[in-house]
Amino acid sequence: MQTQVPAGLPESANFARQVELNRTIEGEYPLQKFTRLGESLVSSEGEVRVKMEFGYSVGYACFKAKVSATLLVECQRCLQPMEIEVSGRFKFALVHSEDEFELLPEEFEPYLLEGEEQSIIDLIEDELLLSLPMVYAHENACSDFMSRQQKEIEAEKEASHPFAALKALKADSTKTNKD
């Protein structure tokens, strides 16, 4: 299914040109556009909020960006869907070769320009993937589920001894015979 990006929001851009124009790209991209991220989700409904500001900082062509999204994932504990908020802020300096990486101030991450156009979708998706937690789990909401699971386990243990009831009856009958 082809998902359209809202008018005015490009999927790719010439980042060097955006810096020259001191441009800002802001809006919401459909979550369906982020296919690699979608593999980790229960549902790819929703949007990714993005703000990218291009310009110069301390003499470097750069851009800073904020991304955020509400994602529906599967809790690793109870296997039920849960919402998580992911967000990230990053600041990249545009570089033309790997030799320039070490020359950058620490406040920047290097962004290697390859070709005329750079994919905004891929960049945002990479940053969102890096901001995902290692394990998805409800903070407290799983406690009801966990107590039900514990009760089921205990019931299974009791049910797994089919002669336990017979043993109890036998113990009761010997007790009454002694009286």
pLDDT (tens digit, 9 = 90+) per residue, 116-149? 899 999 999 999 999 888 888 887 767 666 666 6
Provide the mean pLDDT of the chain.
83
Q: Are strands 24-30 and 47-57 parallel, antiparallel or unpaired?
A: antiparallel
- The arithmetic mean of pLDDT across residues 51-58, rounded, is 93
Distances from the Cα of 90 to the Cαs of 7, 51, 140, in angstroms? 25, 11, 31
Structure confidence at residue 87 as a pLDDT band (50, 70, 90): very high
Locate the domains of the chain by residue range: 12-139, 143-178
Whether the per-residue pLDDT at 170 is higher than 80: the answer is: no
**Inter-residue contact 60 to 104 (CB < 8 Å):** yes
Cβ neighbours of 179 (radius 10 Å): 4
**Inter-residue contact 54 to 18 (CB < 8 Å):** yes
Whether the per-residue pLDDT at 23 is higher than 80: the answer is: yes
Highest mean pLDDT of the ranges 94-108, 133-147, 157-171:
94-108
Q: Say if pTM beats, i.e. exceeds, 0.95.
A: no
